[in-house]
Structure 1
Amino acid sequence: MKKKSVISLILVLAVGLFSGCGSSSDSKSTSSEGGKSKSVTVKIGAAAVPHAEILNHVKPALAKEGINLDVVVLDDEDQLNPALQEKQIDANYFQHLPYLESVAKEKGYDFAVAGKVHVEPIGFYSNKIKSKDELKSGSKIAIPNNPSNEYRALKLLETQGLIKLKSGIANYSATPSDIAENPKNLQFAEVDAAQLPRVLPDVDGSIINTNLVLEAKLDPNKALFREDSKSPYANLIVVRKGDENKKEIKAIVKALNSEDVKNFIKKKYGVAVVPAF
């Protein structure tokens, strides 16, 4: 082969090589800009049960929409709102509106509700009696000691005709000192919510949040009585104000409010968890 021909061949190959590299790069960039291969990660802090389990159930469906759901479970649920405030997570899923309003007022959080998913009907459990009619004068009842759930527990007892609260109570806040009528002279132990299943053997009854019942592997069907589906304590997807309008947040709420999730909740949790949509 002549020297001129060799040089020409080298030039042709070089041009082809650089041309090929440029073509590949442009194609990849176009695909990404077109949104077909682009994905977004959304980090959601959640209680372990049932919240994280429900979120993990919708992960595959959201992945098909380009949303990578990163579910974060913290040992201390009280840290989920600070984590959201400090932008360590994009949303959280563990609380109901009365609780959110109480802590937001205290801590100055500027949060918004993106959607509601389920209600965990708080219930009355006992190892000693089989019916509320068996409660005797002076029976000791354990209730959660955080403001919103304490009111919730007392309100449940009121709906069962066991006590009557003072009129005019606002902000979902009440303690045993707000009881106006207590015909059975029930005694109350205000206990950290997470400890309620553990103190059950030491009291005549305990009003326990359902997620704690499930975590303690108690049978939710054994509640002597519980809230009904009209409870205002639906568990929420909470975000920083303004983020509720983000496309990926709306997609997550839509997935959580689907018939698929409704059927999953009913099948997996029975009476312990009730869809709120």
Structure 2
Amino acid sequence: MKKLLLIILSITLLIVSCGVNKSEEKKLEKLKVAATPIPAGEVLEVIKEDLKKEGIELEIVTFNDYIQPNKVLQSKEVDANLFQHTPYMENFGKKNGFEMVAVGKIYLPTLALYSKRIKNVKELKDGDTILIPNDPTNAARSLILLDKGGIIKLKDNTKQDATVKDIAENPKNIKIVELSAEQLAPRLEEVAASIVNSSFALDAGLSYKKDGILAEDKDSPYANVLATLKGNEKDEKIQKLLKALQSEKVRKFIEEKYKDVIIPVF
């Protein structure tokens, strides 16, 4: 009889326990965030459990392009996205008739000048060749970076759509050759130096400490931000997401996984 009572009690406790768990699950609020797989998707995965403790179930929706994450935000299929910098966000919004807000900076996918031949920009010789990406945004970023390093001088080094035509001074007659981003790292050994996008630098095993001679800093306007529709930036779920993304846990993850190629900026 005692055994039967114990079994009944155990079953009752199990049912009650399950009921509590289901009740807790129902309390979780869903939060959908669009992102590119690397690094944004990986960074968001790190905070899933932390947000669950805050009553939020995070759903990460990944895309391999830079258009759909904003399109699904515009259509309100997601609550926020993480993949873009503010200049791109603002330009995309203007072109597509809606307004987004940068809730906070998370990380900078650095654009850097790498070399296998020299250790300092002062070692560049007359007529040397530097490779840069040929897409408009990163070409302009590259030229601004070269201006910052004193290699060239632009007419306006704040112009975010600068082209080689905006070069005012080139004292060492550096040949600037534009190539598609995926060609920059493989051809690095053929030239004096090459600017390489962060994702391709990671793929090629480049390290700024070992191969870099010039890089963007944390004040770069091209840091990737958590973005949402204007008016939603104060939403409690968005603010909890921002807090989790700007945590020491995320900082350590970025620093350890991506080394000096992608850096936290909070």
Same fold (TM over 0.5): yes
- Return the offset for 1:46: 1.9
175, 184, 191: which is aligned to 2:179? 191
* Corresponding position of 1:258: 247
- Name the TM-score, length of structure 1 as normaliser: 0.77
Matched, 1:178 2:166: yes
* Corresponding position of 2:199: 211
Q: Is the 8 A contact 1:49 1:214 kept in 2?
A: no
Matched, 1:241 2:240: no
Matched, 1:110 2:110: no
- Name the TM-score, length of structure 2 as normaliser: 0.80
Q: Is the 8 A contact 2:90 2:99 kept in 1?
A: no
Q: Is the 8 A contact 1:139 1:185 kept in 2?
A: yes
- Return the offset for 1:226: 1.1
In structure 1, distance between residues paired with 2:197 and 2:104: 21
Matched, 1:150 2:139: yes
* Aligned-partner SS, 1:115: strand
Structure 1 residues 270 and 103: alpha-carbon distance in aligned structure 2, compared to 1, 3 A threshold: same
* Corresponding position of 1:7: none
Give CA-to-partner distance per residue, 1:235-265, whole Å, 9 cap, x none.
Answer: 1011122222222111100111122222322
Unaligned runs of 5+ residues in structure 1 are 1-23
**CA RMSD of the aligned region, Å?**
2.7
Q: Is the 8 A contact 1:125 1:224 kept in 2?
A: yes
* Corresponding position of 2:73: 84
Instruction: Note the 1:1-277 alignment, pairs <5 A.
Output: 37-167=26-156, 170=159, 172-221=160-209, 222-277=211-266
Unaligned runs of 5+ residues in structure 2 are 1-14
Q: Is the 8 A contact 2:147 2:157 kept in 1?
A: no
Give CA-to-partner distance per residue, 1:145-195, whole Å, 9 cap, x none.
Answer: 33333222111111111000003854x220111000011222223334454
Q: Is the 8 A contact 1:85 1:240 kept in 2?
A: yes
* Aligned-partner SS, 2:253: helix
**Structure 1 residue ranges, 4+ long, deviating more than 6 angstroms after superposition:** none
In structure 2, distance between residues paired with 1:155 and 1:218: 22
Structure 1 residues 91 and 198: alpha-carbon distance in aligned structure 2, compared to 1, 3 A threshold: farther
Q: Is the 8 A contact 2:33 2:58 kept in 1?
A: yes
Q: Is the 8 A contact 2:114 2:213 kept in 1?
A: yes
Q: Is the 8 A contact 1:214 1:220 kept in 2?
A: no
> Aligned residue pairs: how many?
247
Structure 1 residues 220 and 73: alpha-carbon distance in aligned structure 2, compared to 1, 3 A threshold: farther
- Return the offset for 1:203: 4.2
Q: Is the 8 A contact 2:105 2:226 kept in 1?
A: yes
Q: Is the 8 A contact 1:44 1:69 kept in 2?
A: yes
Structure 1 residues 218 and 161: alpha-carbon distance in aligned structure 2, compared to 1, 3 A threshold: same
In structure 2, distance between residues paired with 1:104 and 1:97: 10
* Aligned-partner SS, 1:184: coil
**Which has the larger displacement, 116-125 or 184-193?**
184-193
**Which has the larger displacement, 220-229 or 115-124?**
220-229
Structure 1 residues 92 and 68: alpha-carbon distance in aligned structure 2, compared to 1, 3 A threshold: same
